Amino acid sequence: MNSFGEGNHLTRGLPGKLADLRILVTGGAGFIGSEVTAQLSRQGSRVTVMDDFTSGKIEYINSLDGVTVVRGDVCDREKIASATRDQEIVIHLAAMPFIPDCYYYPEDFFRVNAMGSINVIWHCIQSKSVERFVQVSSSEVYGTALYEPMDEKHPTLPHSTYAVSKLAADRAVFTMHKEHGYPAAIVRPFNSYGPRVTQPYIVPEIALQLLNGRNTLMLGNVDAIRDFTYVEDTARAIILASIEKQAVGETINVGTGVGVSIRELALQQAKILGREVTIQLDEKRLRPYDVGKLICDFGKARRILNWRPMISLEEGLALTIDWLKAHPISYRTPFAGWPSVYRSTGS
Ligand SMILES: NC(=O)c1ccc[n+]([C@@H]2O[C@H](COP(=O)([O-])OP(=O)(O)OC[C@H]3O[C@@H](n4cnc5c(N)ncnc54)[C@H](O)[C@@H]3O)[C@@H](O)[C@H]2O)c1
């Protein structure tokens, strides 16, 4: 059974050390966060989710066993002091993650992604109970591939204020780990996709255009290449980093090692649905200073976490499309004034 009771790939690969552990998951109602929360719940962990529900959804977690929900902002010192108290592990996912939004709200991105992360790790250090902090970073901190596959030594040349804010958080976490001898790990997922959609990322965007009956897909830069990891695999890597001792002080990439262009991604989804489509450029979707290529070298995750991706793109896309057929999506946003093209779920 997976997190929706629809077939299980899941707790394969997670050691049985997680039962009864007290774990705080920030952003635990979000896309990746709800999968982390679901996997921990199945392992018998005592999970507290802290989320402000700007994009996360209570319905993604409210049927899970052993999960307590606290509504709050990761930038709120008192809330974080209270939420971290008596926890044993903190997995920090809360962030503003959708790149097109950061063109318009760079300061909000920096506040939540950089300052919020510092606030959370600082209170973990102060708590005296939290024995491990996991920072969820992003492959976007690397900028476009100078070589591939990209290992953790790849230069960090971020292309968006989102990526800059994530890199600032990573560096602060690493520095605080050193300054305080504090056991923190940094996980860098490449693009993730799967059920429990919260943002108009490219996989659900293509799927929704197809499910809405479009035969001409309206897309931006279809030559961009990304490395797509099914969310169950991403979440498992994040959890493993929270319990594996060798992860402390390390930055660990998580991806499949396979580069796929957005064009190929669209055609693969059309094929799953048995559809013939054409693709038309929608100039409004072109991102300024876009990242051309991201392909992950996951050798370090394999060595340190004993992790490898288990779900193929074909299987993962089919699971995602099935989920989208059964679950109407609406995107929530804390802001006004988004470019409507990104936030529409209609055709
Ligand atoms: N989805 C990907 O492909 C991907 C890839 C690499 C890294 N990441 C990182 O993974 C993490 C989760 O991203 P996601 O894709 O699941 O997006 P998401 O929007 O679903 O998750 C973010 C969660 O954080 C919550 N949140 C936002 N601001 C908050 C605040 N100020 N206080 C408390 N909660 C807040 C949201 O409500 C949401 O539940 C982020 O840190 C993101 O940078 C995502």
Domains along the sequence of the chain with CATH:
22-194+229-254 (3.40.50.720), 202-225+258-293+311-343 (3.90.25.10)
Indicate the pLDDT class of residue 346, thresholds 50, 70 and 90.
low
Indicate the pLDDT class of residue 2, thresholds 50, 70 and 90.
very low
Cβ-Cβ contacts under 8 Å for 78 (sequence gap 6 or more): none
Q: What is each CA distance from 162 to 200, 220, 279, 326, in whole angstroms?
A: 16, 19, 28, 31
DSSP-derived secondary structure letter, 246: G
> Ligand 1, residues 34, 47, 93: which to mutate, most atoms within 8 A of Cβ?
93
**Cα–Cα distance measured from residue 67 to residue 51, given in angstroms and rounded to the nearest whole number:** 13
Please tell me the predicted confidence (pLDDT) of residue 266.
98
Please tell me the predicted confidence (pLDDT) of residue 343.
85
Query: Is the minimum distance from the CB of 160 to ligand 1 under 6 angstroms?
Result: no
**Cα–Cα distance measured from residue 295 to residue 314, given in angstroms and rounded to the nearest whole number:** 18
- Mean pLDDT across the stretch 232-257? 98
Please tell me the predicted confidence (pLDDT) of residue 333.
82
Q: What is the dihedral of CA 243, 246, 247, 249, to 10 degrees?
A: 130
Query: Is the minimum distance from the CB of 135 to ligand 1 under 6 angstroms?
Result: no
Query: Is the minimum distance from the CB of 31 to ligand 1 under 6 angstroms?
Result: yes
Residue with structure tokens 């959890």?
239
Whether residue 6 is predicted with pLDDT greater than 50 in this model: the reply is: no
**Cα–Cα distance measured from residue 277 to residue 244, given in angstroms and rounded to the nearest whole number:** 45
* Collapsed DSSP state (helix, strand, coil) of residue 294: coil
For the ranges 17-21, 181-185, 269-273, the lowest mean pLDDT is seen at 17-21
Q: What does pTM read for this prediction?
A: 0.96
**Cα–Cα distance measured from residue 214 to residue 20, given in angstroms and rounded to the nearest whole number:** 48
| C-alpha 96 – ligand 1 centre gap (Å) | 6
| C-alpha 99 – ligand 1 centre gap (Å) | 11
Q: Which of 3-17, 260-274, 322-336 has the highest mean pLDDT?
A: 260-274
Query: Is the minimum distance from the CB of 56 to ligand 1 under 6 angstroms?
Result: yes
| C-alpha 94 – ligand 1 centre gap (Å) | 5
| C-alpha 274 – ligand 1 centre gap (Å) | 32
Q: What is the pLDDT of residues 325-338, one digit of tens each?
A: 999 998 888 888 77
Backbone angles phi, psi at 242, to 5 degrees: -80, -10
Residue minimizing CA distance to atom 43 of ligand 1: 97
| C-alpha 148 – ligand 1 centre gap (Å) | 26
Give the whole-number percent of the chain exceeding pLDDT 70.
96
Whether residue 315 is predicted with pLDDT greater than 70 in this model: the reply is: yes
> Ligand 1, residues 36, 110, 192: which to mutate, most atoms within 8 A of Cβ?
192
Residue minimizing CA distance to atom 32 of ligand 1: 73
Two structure tokens written together for 113: 């992604």
Give one DSSP letter per residue of 303-340, joined into a string. Answer: HHH-----S-HHHHHHHHHHHHHHS------S-S---H
Q: What is the pLDDT of residues 117-158, one digit of tens each?
A: 999 999 999 999 999 999 999 999 999 999 999 999 999 999
Indicate the pLDDT class of residue 13, thresholds 50, 70 and 90.
low
